[in-house]
Amino acid sequence: MVDKKTVEYVANLARIDIREDQKSRFTDELSRILEYIDKLKELNVESICPTRGAFTEENVLRPDRQKKKEYYTDILNNAPASEDNHFRVPKVI
Amino acid sequence: MAKDLLKLSGLEIAECIKNTEVSKDEVLSFFRKRIDSIDPRIKSFVEVYSEPVKTLGGSNLAGVPIALKDNICIKGKRISCASRILSSHISVYDATVVKRLKEAGLLIAGTTNMDEFAFGSSTESSCYGPTRNPWDLERVPGGSSGGSAAAVAMRLVPFALGSDTGGSIRQPASFCGVVGFKPTYGRVSRYGLVAFGSSLDQIGPITTNFIDCAYLLNVICGFDEHDSTSSRKDTPDFTQFLRKDIKGLRVGIPKEYFSAGLDREVESALKEAVNIFKKQGAKIVDVSLPHTEYAVATYYIIAPSEASSNLERFDGIRYGMRKDASALIELYKKTRGAGFGDEAKRRILIGTYSLSSGYYQAYYMRAAKVRTLIKKDFEDVFRSVDVILTPTSPAAAFKIGEKTKDPLSMYLSDIYTIPVNLAGICAVSFPCGFTRNNLPIGAQLIGKAFDEGTLINAGFSFQQETDYHNKIPVINM
């Protein structure tokens, strides 16, 4: 069902490094889980509407207002690296 | 004094404080001593605060200590979700439930252990190591809110909060012999709860009895503008349902929950529970929820899909740990590879796979459609009954390590709790017996959307006739 290549492809999409020795284990486990999930194919769901949330209450909107930056410092303090009130990341360009 | 506090409910302790029979400090030091002497054996707490979090008001529960699962934000305190990736993160704001607890004068005593990001049914995937079941230290307390359930069972705190995405309040409550309530989706604000499956998550109370449960629900339920899925429905006073009167209550017994795979001892305890409800005047009705067998498969598409999306934010830029690299994408990959545990990785991979191009229709969309069928099963049954009675889990607590090698067997232990989250309705697990090995057995009552009151009424009536909820585990020190 799922081969090592698929696990590598999905891990790349999810931006997760997976150790070489874990790849075959994840391949086996994911295959078994997806095989179980294939049970859903027994049902004919063509005419069924999907449920994405528990209850469809109306869309919730609020006015777009400017707010005080009250958490600014606290948020930056939680970052692994920051400089001049910004998050610091490796060079992108 | 000490002996009395152990046998009192949270509400009774608050009354004692009010009547100055005991001071807040005496209550705190009583539970603190219990935590210090007993918790090293069960490891239910992640952090115990030297001073409880400051309160802002009062209520019927004022002055009583409470513990919170380590995925709920308390301003200025560490939050980890039992994951290495968040490590030393300090919450920058209070979750709405925390704000409400403070306003009600409850004292937050500390945070409790859990499966990493609430991914699990045993509390074994915590980066701090497993919590032990106080009824048998070789066994799991259930999960993912295993720390909260074990702490309450052992009376290290009178009550605690957990979160429930597929059974994470009810299954540990069942394994530990306490009351665990999952409110209707939208009843309790999710603001400040670290998101797992946003269309499924709900915070709820873990208590020793239905009285404390009703009082705590009064504190935490209600509309919140910070959660766009928060319901505007009026919140009733849940304590008005604490009456011993269930004459004529229609209790549905779904045959799918009593079929192959159900442990014999659990089955006979449930039959006894049915008799107790019958004796009190309830009407027992056989019902069917035909799509039950598809619930776990549906859930393991929907929940990991939502989780993989929610956990994208843990990228080594804004939170917790970072593994440095020269390029940004490498930094993401290294950080997430080192920061997430195996179960988190597994779920992110399943979720990413089911949402990926070419598989979305076959997996996510199909699961979302089956979810409609599962929801409709409940709507149909609730036309003819008021509540549904089932086991909470197919068996009592399993051994530590028993299911970690086989993720699918772990997933299937939530077979009776998952359908409730998919349907968004409310349910509660409460103790209804013990196995021959003295392990608690839990029964689950499922209610209509926003009908928590009927569950409280039925559960309270049950506890007037039974004594299981008053049993406290004994640990040989």
Model pLDDT for residues B289-319, shown as the tens digit of each residue: 999 999 999 999 999 999 999 999 999 999 9
Write out chain B residues lying below 8 Å of A12, CB-based: 333
3-class state of residue B151 by DSSP: helix
Which domain does B317 fall in, by range? 292-374
The pLDDT tens digits for A31-41 are: 999 999 999 99
Widest CA span in chain B: 71
Q: Do B337 and A14 touch (CB under 8 A)?
A: no
> What is the per-residue pLDDT across B227-285, written as a single tens digit (0 to 9) for each?
999 999 999 999 999 999 999 999 999 999 998 889 999 999 999 999 999 999 999 99
Which residue of A18, A50, A60 is in closest CB contact with B369? A50
> H/E/C letters for each residue in B65-132?
EEEEECCECCCCCECCCCCCCCCCCECCCCCHHHHHHHHCCCEEEEEECCCHHHCCCCCCCCCCCCCC
The tally of domains found in chain B comes to: 2
- End residue of a domain, out of B374, B409, B435: B374
Same-domain pairing of B367 and B261: no
**For B186, which of A10, A33, A54 is closest by C-beta distance?**
A54
Rounded percentage of chain B residues whose pLDDT exceeds 90: 95
Domain shared by B220 and B367, yes or no: no
Q: How far apart are CA B203 and CA B217, in angstroms?
A: 10
The two tokens of residue A12 are 């790349």
Question: Which of A14, A42, A55 has its CB closest to that of B424?
Answer: A55
How large is the average pLDDT for residues A42-60?
84
DSSP, residue by residue, B404-420: TT-HHHHHHTTTTTHHH
Task: Give the per-residue pLDDT at B342.
Answer: 96
User: Which of A20-29, B48-57, B317-326, B416-425 reaches the highest mean pLDDT?
Assistant: B416-425
Query: Domains in chain A and their CATH numbers?
Result: 1-48 (1.10.20)
Specify if B214 maps to a domain.
yes
Q: Is the model's pLDDT at B2 over the cut of 60?
A: no
Question: Is the domain of B300 the same as that of B419?
Answer: no
- Closest residue by Cα to residue B196 from B66, B343, B338, B294: B343
pLDDT digits (tens, 9 = 90+) for B80-139: 999 999 978 999 999 999 999 999 999 999 999 999 999 999 999 999 999 999 999 999
- B180 and B327 assigned to the same domain: no
Instruction: Check if B168 is active-site.
Output: yes
A25 near A57, Cβ under 8 Å?
no
Weakest-pLDDT range from A64-73, B74-83, B311-320: A64-73
Shared-domain flag, residues B362 and B405? no
User: Residue range B418-432: average pLDDT?
Assistant: 98
**Distance of residue B51 Cα from the nearest chain A Cα, in angstroms:** 22
Q: Locate tokens 């925390």: which residue?
A: B98
For range B411-417, the mean pLDDT: 94
Q: A-B interface: how many C-beta pairs under 8 angstroms? A: 164
Q: What is the pLDDT of residue B1?
A: 54
Amino acid at B120: G
Longest dimension (CA), chain A: 57
| Residues B330, B255 share a domain | no
What is the band of B210 on the pLDDT scale with cuts at 50, 70, 90?
Answer: very high
Give domain status of residue B476, yes or no.
Answer: no
Per-residue model confidence (pLDDT) at position B476: 80
In this predicted structure, what is the pLDDT of residue B60? 96
Contact list in A for residue B165 (CB cut-off 8 A) is none
Catalytic, out of B126, B144, B163, B189: B144
Are B16 and B156 part of one and the same domain? yes
Q: Is B91 a catalytic residue?
A: no
Domain harbouring B281, CATH code: 3.90.1300.10
pLDDT for residue A71: 82
Of B222, B221, B276, nearest to B445 by C-alpha is B276
Average pLDDT, whole number, for chain B?
96
| A53 pLDDT tier (thresholds 50, 70, 90) | confident
> What's the gap between Cα A43 and its chain centre?
27
Residue B228 annotated in active site: no
The pLDDT score that the predictor gives to residue A56 is 63
State whether B268 and B325 are in the same domain.
Answer: no
Note whether residue B477 is domain-resident. no
Q: Are B343 and B401 found together in one domain?
A: no
Instruction: Using an 8 Å CB-CB cutoff, list chain B residues near A26.
Output: 345-346, 349
The reported pLDDT for the residue numbered A81 is: 93
pLDDT band at A91 (very low <50, low <70, confident <90, very high): confident
pLDDT of residue B88: 82
Distances from the Cα of B392 to the Cα of B32, B60, B185, B353, angstroms: 31, 30, 19, 30
Q: What is the pLDDT of residue A70?
A: 74
d(CA B354, CA B357): 8
Closest residue of chain B to A69, computed from CA coordinates = B92
Q: Is the pLDDT of residue B31 over 90?
A: yes
The dihedral of CA B133, B148, A29, B335: what is its sign?
negative
**B93 to chain A: which residues are within 8 Å by CB?**
71
Residues B300 and B315 in one domain: yes
Give a yes or no: residue B126 inside a domain. yes
**Domain ends where: B314, B339, B374?**
B374
- Clarify whether residues B458 and B367 are in a common domain: no
Predicted local distance difference test score (pLDDT) of residue B54: 86
Q: Which of residues B374, B404, B421 is at a domain's end?
A: B374
For the cut 80, the answer to whether the pLDDT of residue A68 exceeds it is no
Closest chain A residue to B411, measured at CA: A33
DSSP B15: H
Asked whether residue B344 is domain-assigned, the answer is: yes
- For residues B356 and B410, membership in a common domain is answered with no
Residue B309: inside a domain, yes or no? yes
Average pLDDT, chain A: 90
Cβ atoms of B202 and B145 closer than 8 Å: no
**Under 8 Å between Cβ of B108 and B114:** no
Distance of alpha carbon B308 from alpha carbon B352, whole angstroms: 6
CA pair distance B418, B27, nearest whole angstrom: 37
Strand-pair partners of B112: B45, B69
